[in-house]
Amino acid sequence: MEQFQQYRPLLFSIAYRMTGSANQAEDIVQDAYLKYQQADTTSIQSPKAYLTTIVTNLGLNYLKSAHAQREEYIGIWLPEPVLTSLADDESPETTFEQKESLSTAFLVLLETLSPPERAVFLFHEVFDYSFAEIAELLGKSPANCRQLFHRAKSHVAEKRHRVEVEPETQRQLMESFITACQSGNLTTLTKLLASDVIAWADGGGKVHAALHPVSGQETIAKLFITLMRKVPANYILFIEEVNGVPALLSWSDSQLNWVLMLDIRDNAIVGVYSVLNPDKLAFLQRQLEKRQEQQEHTAQFRATN
């Protein structure tokens, strides 16, 4: 059990990027744990490789079935948001590539790859596995994995914009975006948006949201000014780090209502992602509640010592 816990953050990290679903990633990691418990551990040379192989295969199986589910999904599909402002031991992401691969824009882009391409690309580009190691995980030849990677990389490169934006810049733009929306300052808000800005909203057919992407600086600026004015007075709005970037969260009556994230390039907002589907907010809500409990427990402990 202790050895498994050592690799749990990595396994979740892989499963989440494979599936785009935090809840599914949790299930995959739990399945891997059960299989590990039932295995003859004396014959396992590398627990990390063994567990990673299980998680990868479960992720690939999920992606094959998820393709049909995506076609039936109502409206725009976006990945489930996850809280990333956690302690270092809970968040294994350290490199720019690993942090970037958590972004909503990147996860959406991964959806355009085939399951094998997605797996090879993630392991080589994000987790720095060699093609020989990936071949062993997937049961393919190194040459085949190399071919899959180059095909995936070529496809991703067409739409990927790799620019590292400083966290402070991201937060400033988010705060400016919120202020402009709340004050109804159309001119300022429009200037914050890139000329080719696009907004996506995922309601999953359960919450009212646009069924198609919205584009255009002024159109999007007017849309979010209108939406911000409709936010009820009892809703608490706050900023948290979600999927590696500052995000605006709405909370009321012990319920997370929605999450809004910005995609930033060249100091301008090129994408606005809103997740409203309550099913996709459940994991993030549990993360927030767990952290709150931990903070309260720590405060009580300090008060009594």
Predicted confidence (pLDDT) per residue in 31-84, tens digit: 999 998 888 878 888 889 999 999 999 999 999 888 767 778 899 999 999 999
Instruction: Check whether residue 258 and residue 197 sit in a common domain.
Output: yes
- Tens-place pLDDT, residues 236-262: 999 999 999 999 999 999 999 999 999
Residue ranges making up the domain that contains 180: 75-112+162-305
User: Of the candidates 97, 132, 157, which is a domain's last residue?
Assistant: 157
The whole-number average pLDDT for the span 99-105 is 84
Q: Per-residue confidence at 301, pLDDT binned at 50, 70, 90?
A: low
Residues 293 and 207 in one domain: yes
Residue type, 144: N
98 and 69, same domain (yes or no): no
Same domain, 148 and 52: yes
pLDDT higher than 60, residue 91: no
CA–CA separation, 247 and 116 (whole Å): 31
Last residue of a domain, one of 157, 186, 210: 157
Pair (87, 149) in one structural domain: no
* Pairing verdict, β 193-202 and 245-252: unpaired
Per-residue pLDDT at 93 exceeds 80? no
**Does pLDDT of 89 surpass 50?**
no
Render pLDDT for 184-210 as a digit per residue (tens, 0 to 9): 999 999 999 999 999 999 999 999 999
User: SS3 for 83?
Assistant: strand
Judge whether 274 and 201 are in contact, CB under 8 Å: yes
pLDDT band at 88 (very low <50, low <70, confident <90, very high): very low
Residue closest to 171 by CA, chosen among 248, 94, 101: 248
* Whole-number pLDDT of residue 96: 56
CATH number of the domain that residue 95 is part of: 3.10.450.50
Count Cβ neighbours within 10 Å for each residue of 53-85 and write b for 16 or more, e otherwise: bbbbbbbbebbeebeeeeeeeebbbbbbbbbbe
- Shared domain check, 260 and 217: yes
pLDDT of residue 163: 63
pLDDT of 92 > 60? The answer is no
Mean pLDDT of 114-119: 95
Are 54 and 81 in a shared domain? no
| CATH number of the domain that residue 128 is part of | 1.20.140.160
- Predicted confidence at residue 52, as pLDDT, reads 94
Give dist(CA 115, CA 62) in Å, integer. Answer: 9
User: Does residue 235 sit in the same domain as residue 305?
Assistant: yes
Q: Which residues contact 168 (CB under 8 A, 6 or more apart)?
A: none
* Count of domains observed in the chain: 2
pLDDT at residue 297 tops 80: no
pLDDT of residue 294: 82
pLDDT band for position 305 (50/70/90)?
Answer: low
- The overall average pLDDT reported for the chain is 90
The residues, any chain, with a CB within 8 Å of residue 122's CB and separated by 6 or more, are 14, 17, 18, 101, 110
Output 3 or 117, whichever has higher pLDDT. 117
pLDDT tens string 209-220: 999 999 999 999
Q: Residue 153: CA atoms inside 13 Å, Cβ hemisphere, count?
A: 13
Any bridge partners for residue 240, and if so which? 247
Q: Which residue has the higher pLDDT, 112 or 89?
A: 112
Residue 195 tokens, joined: 């000329």
* Same domain (yes/no): 262, 275: yes
Q: Are residues 9 and 137 in the same domain?
A: yes
Question: Whole-prediction pTM value?
Answer: 0.88
Residues 186 and 302 in one domain: yes
Residues 136 and 13 in one domain: yes
Distance CA 203, CA 211 (A): 8
More confident residue, 100 or 238: 238
Please give the C-alpha separations between residue 5 and each of 37, 70, 253, in angstroms, as whole numbers. Answer: 12, 32, 34
DSSP state of 233: T
Q: Which of 101, 133, 157 is the last residue of a domain?
A: 157
Separation in Å, CA 265 to CA 227, 250, 268: 24, 25, 5
